[in-house]
Amino acid sequence: MPPKIDLNLCNGCGRCIFDCGVYVLELDADTEKARLIGKGCVDCFLCELACPKRAVRILVGKDLGGVGGKAYAREY
Ligand code: SF4
Ligand code: SF4
């Protein structure tokens, strides 16, 4: 799954963007927060590891279902 970025936590430092090897993250010019662009994410976790604010989450694991969306069990 591509990363989910919590805009309430993101401070726009750009570390996730710098570390992404496939260039699918950028800094939004309006919000000055990171955002996902394109569909080339390879689930490498580098952006999540790079983020000092823990604003990035790669969702992996079992789909637990749910109403109105999907919930995922985190596997560490
Ligand atoms: S998981 Fe890897 S490929 Fe996907 S956005 Fe993050 S750094 Fe880029
Ligand atoms: S590393 Fe974290 S805080 Fe910095 S731009 Fe990316 S999501 Fe935002």
Q: Hey, what domains does the chain have and what are their CATH numbers?
A: 4-72 (3.30.70.20)
Can you give the pLDDT of all 76 residues of the chain as single tens digits?
789 999 999 999 999 999 999 999 999 999 999 999 988 999 899 999 999 999 999 877 666 666 555 555 565 5
76: which residues sit within 8 A by CB, 6+ positions away?
none
Query: How much is the pLDDT for 6?
Result: 95
Query: How much is the pLDDT for 18?
Result: 97
Ligand 1 centre distance from Cα of residue 57 (Å): 10
Distances (CA, A) of 26 to 14, 29, 47, 57: 8, 9, 11, 16
Q: Measuring from atom 2 of ligand 1, which residue has the nearest CA?
A: 44
Query: How much is the pLDDT for 59?
Result: 76
pTM of the model: 0.82
Pocket of ligand 1 (CB under 6 A): 2-3, 19-20, 22, 24-25, 41-47, 58
* Chain centroid offset of residue 28 CA: 14
Percentages helix, strand, coil for the chain (3-state, rounded to 5) are: 15, 20, 65
Q: Measuring from atom 4 of ligand 2, which residue has the nearest CA?
A: 13
Query: How much is the pLDDT for 1?
Result: 79
